């Protein structure tokens, strides 16, 4: 039915030598440690990004200005290795700007060269979209296909990027000259990770006074390049998904959570000053829930378990699901608080197992 | 007492027109025995036939008529009876004349105006224009003046005019009527009822907030869980399903913490409920085997590691600690 259970535990039907999940786990932890060298005080964000990388999901980072969103993504791209491309979202960026650019060469002849999305061909492993909400909806829709199908059509040819991960960030301070991401585009991100300023004294002190954080380029260059082999991640991801067990009790639990999110009143959820019967307009898509289980399997694997437990789901539920829950317009302005309380109360009320 | 005076105008149209003012009947009140402040009522009944209608907009308006008389109200209704139109007009007057002696005063007469008295509309001629339209068969009617005798309220005793007066004003003036006592019984009853409602609401509120008399004994989820587990085992003669027992204890944890408690929450749970600190290793192995049981599918291993007997003992320990703390 859905997901592997015990009987499919050893269903590794590929001709390649089987991957050793234990070895891979330790290199995943290495990967985390390498990123942590460049980004301090963001252990949770790093863990979530690691989960996304091994679940082969795209990530949207959101946070204040100057908290290290870009640095974090560059560090991840560096540790992941492979070809890396970035583009800055601007209001006049058009989809074609991502695919090709035109110029006059030294002989005065017009030339058309592949743009950032095509330049590296199949090897592109990280496509980093900075300030995504500054780009127009046309660009968002191109991205939609790039994210969902990992392919684009250009120059009468279909280009496929099997190893591609899209990382995007946006700051949540300004709203001027920005375009809200359409729900369909947001739904294609595995996670929306909120980045905040580190709160513990040591991290803050280090960020302010350690000289290695002053120059980001040097900092990123000091990281080991390609801690994991990004070309094998797709296969690893499918092995993880086929190995980590989701028991019937957990399936039941995930389904209950899903119902509770879509119909909070039926689960007895209560939120102060909110009429929960009218709270939810839609969302919590089936794709979102399947992403959630995918991420939960990776989370369990990273914690060294061969089974998914409710804690895994609870741990990643907010980053995976919060942006997929759509509230009725009257509650939309208080979205952050309400979604947080909704998720907290759903986990407090839905019994597991 | 009320005399009525009927003045009948039998007006026959010269031209033989079907329109006519058939009658004006005036029902007058008595003509004497009035004092300052008295209200009297006159009733006028106007009967017309054919096209003729009373022009009701031209009836006098309420308000002062003379310095001593107000028209308090005037009401009129209209009905049809045997092909005739009957207007009932009720006039209410109030007298403000302070009489020093019995005196006759006249309520002024007023005219009645009609639409199509003969065959022409009343606005066909200017008001006050004499008989320019009489050849059109235009008839009129009016309510005549009414003479009233108005009397003083008491004997007039004026010092300088009546030097040999023998009685004082105080002898003439009669005391005010004793005020009627208003019964307070309904108010008292209402007060009593309100007090009763207030008391009941107060009691309901206390029960709603579970304050003193309604404060229930603190719930003891672990005690109840232990009882349930023992009951189950007794009913199944020691072979109750392991999963059910785990669930009973899980629900007790949930109830005790007020939220769902997972294995990762055990340290936090112990930090909050320090009385269970001594049981911490047992709690850990309980949650571990529960994880194994529910989520890995390796149920036998879970049961081997943390058998039912151990589980019953843990429930007993938890219940004991719970009671000790309460």
Task: Tell me, yes or no, if A341 comes closer than 8 A to chain B by beta carbon.
Answer: no
Report residue B27's pLDDT band, with 50, 70 and 90 as the boundaries: very high
Task: Give A208-258 pLDDT, tens digit per residue.
Answer: 788 778 788 888 888 888 778 777 888 888 888 888 888 888 888 888 888
Map tokens 């291993």 to a residue.
B301
Q: Is residue A211 part of a domain?
A: yes
Q: Which residues contact A240 (CB under 8 A, 6 or more apart)?
A: A21, A54, A55, A297, A298, A301
Mutation target to probe the B interface, by most B beta carbons within 10 A, among A5, A247, A297 is A247
User: What's the rounded Cα separation, in Å, for the pair A103 and B137?
Assistant: 110
Q: How far apart are CA A161 and CA A298, in angstroms?
A: 22
Q: Specify the CATH number for the domain of residue A250.
A: 1.10.8.80
* Residue that is last in its domain, among A194, A225, A256: A225
**B273 — pLDDT class (breaks 50, 70, 90):** confident
Q: Average per-residue pLDDT in chain A?
A: 83
Say yes or no: B193 contacts chain A, CB-CB below 8 A.
no
The rounded distance, in Å, linking the Cα atoms of A95 and A93 is 7
Residues A192, A255 within the same domain: no
Closest CA–CA distance from residue B292 to any residue of chain A (Å): 9
What is the rounded CA–CA span in Å between residue A88 and residue A128? 9
pLDDT in tens, B133-160: 444 444 678 899 999 999 988 776 665 5
B253 located within any domain: yes
Which tens digit of pLDDT belongs to each residue from B34-54? 999 999 999 999 998 888 888
pLDDT digits (tens, 9 = 90+) for B90-137: 999 999 999 888 999 999 999 998 888 765 444 444 444 444 444 444
Task: For residue A206, give the H/E element and its range.
Answer: helix A201-209
CA dist A77 and A69 (Å) reads 12
Closest CB to B262: pick one of A306, A307, A314.
A314
> Contact, A71 vs A114, CB < 8 A?
no
User: Does residue A47 sit within a domain?
Assistant: yes
**Measured distance CA(A222)–CA(A217) in Å, rounded:** 9
Span A297-316, average pLDDT? 88
Domain co-membership, B271 together with B147: no
Cα distances (angstroms) measured from residue B79 to each of B73, B87, B122: 20, 7, 21
Given pLDDT bands bounded at 50, 70 and 90, which one contains residue A139?
confident
Return the number of CB contacts < 8 Å for A and B.
47
Assigned token pair, B311: 């589980």
d(CA B233, CA B309): 10
Q: Give me the long-range contacts of A34-39 (CB less than 8 A, separation at least 24).
A: A34/A75, A34/A79, A34/A223, A34/A224, A34/A227, A35/A72, A35/A75, A35/A76, A35/A79, A35/A223, A37/A222, A37/A223, A38/A71, A38/A72, A38/A75, A38/A219, A38/A220, A38/A222, A38/A223, A39/A68, A39/A71, A39/A72, A39/A75
In a domain, B185, yes or no: no
Report d(CA A142, CA A151) in Å as an integer.
10
A281: left (phi > 0), else alpha (psi -120 to 50), else beta?
alpha
Q: Dihedral sign for Cα B151, B157, B159, B163, please.
A: positive
Let me know whether A276 and A143 are in one domain: no
Task: Check whether residue A181 and residue A252 sit in a common domain.
Answer: no
| Residue B211 in domain | no
- Does A78 share its domain with A189? yes
Note whether B166 and B312 are same-domain residues. Answer: no
- Residues A54, A55, A56, A61, Cα dihedral to 10°: -90
Instruction: Please judge whether A309 and B295 are an interchain contact, meaning their C-beta atoms are less than 8 angstroms apart.
Output: yes
pLDDT in tens, A159-214: 888 888 888 888 777 777 888 888 888 888 888 888 888 888 888 888 878 877 87
Q: Would the CB atoms of A309 and B297 count as touching at under 8 Å?
A: no
Conformational region of residue B210, where left means phi above 0, alpha means psi within -120 to 50, and beta covers everything else: left
Task: With beta carbons less than 8 A apart as the criterion, state whether B296 and A306 touch.
Answer: yes
Instruction: Indicate whether A68 and A189 sit together in one domain.
Output: yes
Q: Domain containing B316: what range?
A: 221-325
Do A163 and A56 belong together in one domain? Answer: yes
3-state SS assignment for residue B84: strand
Together in a domain, A207 and A282: no
CB contact under 8 A, A309 and B260: no
B180, part of any domain: no
pLDDT of B17 strictly over 70: no
In a domain, B120, yes or no: yes
With respect to residue A5, please indicate whether it lies within any of the assigned structural domains.
no
Q: Do A353 and B259 touch (CB under 8 A)?
A: no
- Do B229 and B133 reside in the same domain of the chain? no
Residue B130 lies in a domain: yes
Cross-chain residue pair A247–B294, CB shorter than 8 Å: yes
End-to-end CA distance of chain B: 92
Q: Which domain holds residue A323?
A: 244-349
pLDDT tens digits, A59-111: 988 888 878 888 888 888 888 888 888 888 888 888 888 888 888 989 989 98
Tokens of B205: 């509120």
Percent of chain B with pLDDT over 70: 79
DSSP of A30-69: HHHHHHHHHS-S-HHHHHHHHHHHHTT-EEEEEE-TTSSH
CA dist B208 and B211 (Å) reads 8
**Which residue in A has a C-alpha nearest to residue B262's C-alpha?**
A311
| Sign of the Cα pseudo-torsion (B218, B219, B220, B224, in order) | positive
Q: What is the CATH number of the domain that holds A141?
A: 3.40.50.300
Say what the pLDDT of residue B8 is: 39
pLDDT at residue B161 in the model: 61
Q: What is the pLDDT of residue B9?
A: 43
Structure confidence at residue B218 (pLDDT): 61
Assigned domain for B203 exists: no
Q: What is the pLDDT of residue B158?
A: 62
Residues 6+ apart with CB under 8 A from B136: B118, B119, B120, B124
B213 lies in some domain: no
Domain's final residue, options B138, B154, B172? B172
Same domain? B259 vs B153? no
Q: Residue B64: what pLDDT?
A: 94
Q: Cβ of B278 under 8 Å from any chain A Cβ?
A: no
Distance (Å) from the alpha carbon of A296 to chain B's nearest alpha carbon: 13
Same domain, B121 and B232: no
Same-domain check for residues B289 and B165: no
Cβ–Cβ < 8 Å for B251, B244: no
Interval A66-78: pLDDT, tens = 788 888 888 888 8
Query: How many domains is chain A partitioned into structurally?
Result: 2
Interface contact flag, B263 A309, Cβ < 8 Å: yes
CA distance A283 to A322: 10
């Amino acid at each position: 039915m859905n997901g592997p259970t015990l009987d499919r535990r050893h269903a590794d039907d590929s001709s390649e030598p089987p991957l050793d999940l234990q070895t891979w786990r330790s290199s995943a932890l290495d990967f985390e440690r390498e990123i942590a060298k460049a980004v301090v005080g963001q252990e949770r964000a790093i863990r979530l990004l690691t989960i996304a990388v091994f679940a082969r999901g795209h990530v949207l980072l959101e946070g204040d200005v100057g908290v290290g969103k870009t640095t974090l993504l560059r560090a991840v791209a560096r540790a992941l290795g492979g070809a890396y491309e970035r583009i800055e979202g601007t209001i006049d960026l058009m989809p074609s700007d991502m695919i090709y650019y035109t110029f006059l060469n030294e002989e005065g002849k017009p030339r058309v060269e592949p743009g950032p999305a095509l330049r590296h061909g199949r090897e592109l492993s990280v496509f980093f979209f900075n300030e995504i909400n500054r780009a127009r909806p046309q660009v968002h829709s191109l991205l939609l296909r790039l994210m969902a199908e990992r392919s684009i059509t250009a120059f009468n040819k279909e280009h496929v990027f099997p190893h591609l991960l899209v990382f995007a960030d946006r700051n949540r301070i300004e709203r001027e000259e920005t375009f809200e991401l359409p729900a369909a585009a947001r739904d294609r991100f595995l996670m929306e990770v909120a980045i905040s300023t580190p709160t513990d004294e040591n991290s803050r002190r280090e960020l302010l006074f350690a000289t290695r954080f002053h120059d980001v380029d040097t900092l990123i260059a000091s990281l080991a390049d390609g801690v994991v082999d990004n070309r094998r991640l797709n296969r690893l991801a499918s092995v993880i998904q086929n190995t980590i067990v989701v028991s019937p009790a957990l399936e039941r639990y995930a389904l209950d959570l899903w119902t509770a999110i879509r119909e909070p009143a039926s689960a007895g959820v209560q939120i102060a000053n909110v009429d929960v019967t009218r709270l939810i307009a839609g969302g919590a898509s089936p794709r979102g829930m399947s992403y959630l289980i995918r991420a939960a399997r990776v989370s369990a694997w990273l914690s060294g378990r061969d089974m998914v437990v409710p804690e895994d789901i609870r741990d990643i539920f907010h980053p995976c699901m919060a942006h997929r829950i759509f509230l009725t317009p009257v509650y939309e302005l208080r979205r952050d608080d309400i979604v947080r309380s909704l998720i907290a109360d759903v986990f407090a009320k839905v019994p597991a197992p | 007492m009320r005399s009525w005076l009927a003045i009948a105008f039998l007006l026959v149209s010269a031209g033989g027109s079907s329109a006519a003012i058939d009658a004006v009947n005036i029902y007058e009140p008595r003509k004497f025995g009035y004092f300052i402040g008295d209200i009297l009522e006159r009733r006028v009944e106007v009967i017309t036939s054919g096209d003729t209608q009373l022009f009701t907009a031209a009836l006098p308006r309420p308000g002062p008529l003379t310095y001593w008389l107000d028209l308090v109200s005037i009401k009129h209704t209209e009905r049809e009876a045997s092909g005739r139109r009957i207007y009932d007009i009720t006039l209410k007057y109030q007298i403000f004349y302070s009489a020093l002696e019995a005196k006759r005063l006249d309520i002024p007469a007023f005219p009645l105006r009609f639409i199509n008295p003969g065959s022409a509309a009343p606005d066909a001629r200017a008001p006050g224009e004499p008989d320019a339209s009489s050849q059109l068969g235009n008839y009129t009617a009016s309510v005549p003046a009414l003479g009233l005798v108005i009397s003083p309220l008491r004997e007039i005793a004026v010092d300088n005019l009546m030097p040999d007066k023998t009685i004082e004003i105080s002898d003439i003036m009669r005391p005010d009527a004793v005020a009627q006592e208003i019964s307070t019984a309904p108010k008292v009853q209402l007060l009593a009822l309100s007090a009763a409602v207030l008391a009941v609401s107060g009691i309901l509120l206390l029960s709603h907030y579970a304050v003193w008399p309604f404060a229930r004994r603190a719930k003891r989820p672990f005690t109840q869980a232990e009882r349930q587990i023992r009951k189950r085992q007794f009913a199944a003669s020691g072979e109750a399903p392991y999963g059910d027992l785990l669930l009973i204890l899980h629900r007790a944890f949930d109830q005790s913490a007020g939220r769902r408690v997972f294995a990762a929450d055990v340290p936090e749970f112990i930090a909050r409920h320090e009385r269970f600190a001594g049981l911490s290793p047992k709690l850990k192995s309980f949650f571990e085997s529960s994880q194994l049981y529910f989520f890995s599918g390796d149920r036998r291993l879970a049961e081997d590691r943390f058998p039912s007997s151990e589980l019953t003992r843990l429930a007993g320990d938890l219940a004991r600690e719970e009671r000790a703390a309460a």
